[in-house]
């Protein structure tokens, strides 16, 4: 996170915290890097003087800080201290080292689909905790997400509601970036947890494409697009596009819940981490051959699951959709050539397209029916093992006959 030196007008001490650097400034006030006497570092925000004079703002600010104290979860910056009665109210949260999502994408480009899904799953879990505490963030955007070594963290949660009563078109009173506000916020309607889901969808779109899903322009133009135009998801990975588009639905009731979003993003992150995309189905392996499940029949897929524990594949039972049925032969599967028995042949082996004993001609391109293969001359191939057996029998019989003849002559 970029830090700047303190300016002349900046305070040096706020409450029990000593201020060291400026971390940034927003619509509500200035954020400083501070530390307490034990050396614990905090991000301390001091409210703007004009807002500090607004009693309605102070009341709402106090309610939001009280709710923020109840938030529990590893994906949020924990509230450390606050003073609501000071001349300029302030609050301090746990300092989170690391760049914001906005700065990370601006400097290094879009995140991969696996990274976006992983960040989104963690943020969804964080929003579950925020919403359970009765708080709606209302200002979720890339600059309010910090990428710490321990995972993403949500900052400034719930505080944006304090200025929500201000008209968005008034200069200096708009909170958040127009491209990340939900349509109901623009219309002035009641906000719900679904409001944060919309903002999270826009944030994930930015992380994956390095651009706002509603383009660029003046605040008025951006707000109009949010309410009346569909989001543009050019460059969005196929694995994420349908889910992000659901988050950006105009009707809050059509958006997924944060819990549903977390579970779905975890599934996508796991699949993408294995190098598989949403549009490419996983691969089943059958005796060394790769068989895409997208081209299997439903019956074949079910049998793969049923027989997987037994080490059997449907191909051995004649259910493979691309091969004719053939009964299991009596010969060993390690033999070369075909079985001498005419009652059947061994089941097809998908990892081989030719065998010894069938070289040349049509004998190497495939089989028709269930009988033994033949050579291009129409004869069955010789079986060396059978020939050896016959030769041994012939020699033994010959010796026995010779010995019998010799014994008869001696008598």
Q: What is the pLDDT of residue 382?
A: 60
Q: What is the pLDDT of residue 359?
A: 38
**Does residue 137 lie in a domain region?**
yes
**How many residues are recorded in the chain?**
411
Report the alpha-carbon angle 66-147-40, nearest 5: 55
Q: How many domains does the chain have?
A: 1
**Does residue 99 lie in a domain region?**
yes
Q: What is the pLDDT of residue 2?
A: 67
Alpha-carbon span 219 to 176, nearest angstrom: 11
CB count within 10 Å of CB 21 equals 15
Question: Looking at residue 133, which CATH number applies to its domain?
Answer: 1.10.510.10
How far out from the chain centre does Cα 346 lie?
43
Which are the contacts of 297, defined by CB distance < 8 A and separation ≥ 6? 321
Q: What is the mean pLDDT of the chain?
A: 74
Active site residue 139: yes
List the chain residues with pLDDT less than 70: 1-2, 157-176, 276-382, 411
Which tokens in the block code for residue 265? Answer: 């993003």
Q: What is the pLDDT of residue 101?
A: 95
Q: What is the pLDDT of residue 389?
A: 81
Q: How confident is the model over 35-84, as pLDDT tens digits?
A: 999 999 999 999 988 888 888 888 877 877 887 787 877 788 888 999 99
CA distances to 81, 116, 154, 183 from 208, rounded to whole Å, are 35, 6, 18, 22
Q: What is the pLDDT of residue 200?
A: 97
**Does residue 299 lie in a domain region?**
no
Q: What is the pLDDT of residue 274?
A: 85
**Does residue 329 lie in a domain region?**
no
Q: Is the pTM of this model over 0.75?
A: no
Q: 273-287 in b/e burial notation, b at 16+ Cβ within 10 A?
A: eeeeebeeeeebebe
**Does residue 53 lie in a domain region?**
yes
**Does residue 172 lie in a domain region?**
yes
Which are the contacts of 263, defined by CB distance < 8 A and separation ≥ 6? none
Its domain, for residue 93, covers 13-273
**Does residue 376 lie in a domain region?**
no
DSSP 71-107: ---TTBPPEEEEESSSSS-EEEEE---S-BHHHHHHH
Q: How confident is the model over 252-276, as pLDDT tens digits?
A: 999 999 999 999 999 999 999 887 5
Q: What is the pLDDT of residue 224?
A: 93
| Tokens 């001349």 -> residue | 87
% of the chain beyond a pLDDT of 90: 39
Residue in 139, 156, 196, 211 annotated catalytic: 139
**Does residue 301 lie in a domain region?**
no
Which tokens in the block code for residue 58? Answer: 């102070």
């Amino acid at each position: 996170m970029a830090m700047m030196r303190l300016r002349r007008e900046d305070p040096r001490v706020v409450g029990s915290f000593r201020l060291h650097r400026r971390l940034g400034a927003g619509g509500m006030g200035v954020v400083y890097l501070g530390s307490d006497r034990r050396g614990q570092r905090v991000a301390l925000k001091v409210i703007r003087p004009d807002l500090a004079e607004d009693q309605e703002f102070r009341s709402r600010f106090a309610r939001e800080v009280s709710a923020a104290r109840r938030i529990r979860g590893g994906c949020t910056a924990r509230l450390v201290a606050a003073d609501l009665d000071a001349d300029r109210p302030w609050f301090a949260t746990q300092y989170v080292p690391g760049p914001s999502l906005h700065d990370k994408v601006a400097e290094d480009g879009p995140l991969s689909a696996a990274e976006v899904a992983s960040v989104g799953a963690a943020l969804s879990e964080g929003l579950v905790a925020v919403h359970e505490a009765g708080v709606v963030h209302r200002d979720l955007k890339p600059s309010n997400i910090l990428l710490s070594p321990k995972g993403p963290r949500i900052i400034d949660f719930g505080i944006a509601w304090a200025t929500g009563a201000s008209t968005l078109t008034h200069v200096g009173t708009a909170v958040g970036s127009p491209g990340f506000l939900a349509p109901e916020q623009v219309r002035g309607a009641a906000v719900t947890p679904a409001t944060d889901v919309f903002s999270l969808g826009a944030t994930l779109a930015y992380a994956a494409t390095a651009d706002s899903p509603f383009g660029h322009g003046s605040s008025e133009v951006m707000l109009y697009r949010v309410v009346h135009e569909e989001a543009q998801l050019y460059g969005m990975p196929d694995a994420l596009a349908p889910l992000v588009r659901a988050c950006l639905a105009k009707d809050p009731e059509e958006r997924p819940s944060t819990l549903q979003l977390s579970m779905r993003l975890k599934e996508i992150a796991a699949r993408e981490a294995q190098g598989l995309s949403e549009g490419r189905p996983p691969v089943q392996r059958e005796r060394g051959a790769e068989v895409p499940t997208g081209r299997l029949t439903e019956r074949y897929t079910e049998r793969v699951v049923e027989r997987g524990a037994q080490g059997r594949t449907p191909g051995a039972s004649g259910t493979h959709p691309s091969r004719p049925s053939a009964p299991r032969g009596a010969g060993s599967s390690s033999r070369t050539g075909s079985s001498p028995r005419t009652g059947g042949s061994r089941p097809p082996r998908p990892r081989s397209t030719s065998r010894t004993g069938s070289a040349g001609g049509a004998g190497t391109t495939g089989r028709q029916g269930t009988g033994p293969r033949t050579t291009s001359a129409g004869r069955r191939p010789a079986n060396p093992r059978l020939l050896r057996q016959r030769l041994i029998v012939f020699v033994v019989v010959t010796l026995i006959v010779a010995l019998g003849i010799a014994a008869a002559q001696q008598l």
